[in-house]
Structure 1
């Protein structure tokens, strides 16, 4: 009997990997994040030729947003969106979203085509990440130099003009760091300064807890997520002296919905296990 050929070796390796995926939650955790990372890079860059037709246009991000939705399906993540009737229509706004994981990129893929005219702020170093940096520039990302405080502040100030004049929806994560806990972390004030400077509303968006994800235990299962768009909070007439009150009002509203929708997701999870 001869030695196994390359086809047999590849088939055996594939079967072994499938076996590991089924029986090891640690292997499944890293495998799914590898798929998420690689496919996110592909979906962000493969459409660059189409993006070049209209550089710096928010609509360019609709291509990778479509890709993100396909990635969600592949990973077994199901999204339900509520409160779309609350979306700001006629002006720009600052969209504040609770921040849980790198998987929040998939949340942006869901809300980007719904809210329209969305953009984000990113550190300028991202601009130099080859094709990915080019893609982020093509879909209108606002870059800031975090190492140069004076220049970064100037960019944030000019961002208020972009939000107001272009009716842009600036998506920001005010917690500033990832948090998949039972409640939200304290909010940083940058997003709210932009909202007040531009005199445009704050649009809170609440994402239920990722119960299917546990970074400490290395668990990444399938699961459901509820995205809720809350009524906009107006800033017309407010000044920088009102920032703390605006932060508190927004965070309190988001915490209430975060608790409610996270409990709802637990109910869905129990139903899925029973069925």
Structure 2
């Protein structure tokens, strides 16, 4: 009886202290929110894996993942607004290039996956080992590549083969051309892979720009509620381009995305003290 009472007291104490820490410590909120995020993704991966086994490597499995996980944003206090929906929902094969700021990017993708419909992602090989998420991602048809310098040619060969498959099936391929995620308030230089693929397959580049995560600071351990604008720009044709045009295509795309990034970030920051009108087209 005594031990039971101690357990009950401990449980009650924890239940009382968590809200207190959540309200008073931004560091506690930061770690708790990411714990909730990763926990929900992990649990949903376990739930969905048996169903994914009935249609392995089908990119439509990501729609299941989206429906199970998109509510995480609401829990974390994040509101996503999509612009340029008409470009994203078009049934065509393309290479989506998007800026990469944080692990939170996947939450924005979950929010818009029903619009993209058939879409898969190029991911670093290390994610494959993060089970059960890695296994679920593999069953969803994600393309894992080894980006080490020693294996650049192998990665490019794998991506070229994947590009031919998505062209045939009219699948969108999401790529983060910056390679490494950086929440520094700017879009960093791109790697050539995505543009090399698009030109080789003669399919369009579809730029997707995610406004700055002003509410996230990994050094200060802050993850506050925030608004994010996702802007899909008109597709950029690669028809008639050759591999000699990769450099120019890459730079012109980055410049275009950077202009949108600056404008959307400025807009979203102006609404920090005023709710963002998510109905705005």
TM-score (norm 1): 0.92
Give the aligned partner of residue 135 of structure 1.
Answer: 136
Q: TM-score, normalised by structure 2?
A: 0.90
Rounded Cα–Cα distance in structure 1 between residues aligned with 2:217 and 2:108? 18
Shift of 1:124: 3.9
Alignment partners' CA distance in 2, 1:111 and 1:166: 20
2:187 aligns with one of 179, 184, 190: 184
Matched position secondary structure for 1:209: coil
Superposition RMSD in Å: 2.1
Inter-partner Cα distance in structure 2 for 1:150 and 1:181: 30
The Cα shift of 1:88 comes to 6.0
Aligned counterparts, 1:164-203, within 5 A: 164-203=167-206
Aligned to 1:54, what secondary structure does the other structure show? coil
Q: In the alignment, is residue 8 of structure 1 matched against residue 23 of structure 2?
A: no
- Does residue 221 of structure 1 match 2:262? no
**Structure 1 unaligned residues grouped into runs of 5+:** none
Listed one character per residue, the Cα deviations across residues 1-32 of structure 1 (whole Å, up to 9, x for unaligned) are: 99953222211122112101100111111111
Q: Point out 4+ residue stretches in structure 1 off by more than 4 angstroms.
A: 1-4
Please state how far the C-alpha of 1:125 moved relative to its aligned partner.
4.5
**1:111 matched to which residue of 2?**
112
Cα offset, 1:218, TM superposition:
1.1
Equivalent in 234, 238, 243 of residue 231 of structure 1: 234
- Residues 154-183 of structure 1, C-alpha deviation per residue, up to 9 Å, x if partnerless? 202212212311211110111111222232
Structure 2 contact 160–197 (Cα < 8 Å) conserved: yes
Query: Number of residues paired by the alignment?
Result: 273
Gaps of 5+ in 2: 277-281
Shift of 1:116: 1.7
Structure 2 residue 273 is the aligned partner of structure 1 residue 270: yes
Among 256, 261, 270, the residue aligned to 1:258: 261
Q: Work out the CA distance in 2 between the residues paired with 1:117 and 1:3.
A: 53
Give the match's secondary structure for 2:229: strand
What is the alpha-carbon distance in structure 2 between the residues aligned to residue 266 and residue 161 of structure 1? Answer: 40
C-alpha offsets along residues 211-230 of structure 1, whole Å, 9 cap, x if unaligned?
11111111111111111111
Q: 1:161 aligns with which of 120, 145, 164?
A: 164
Equivalent position SS for 2:239: coil
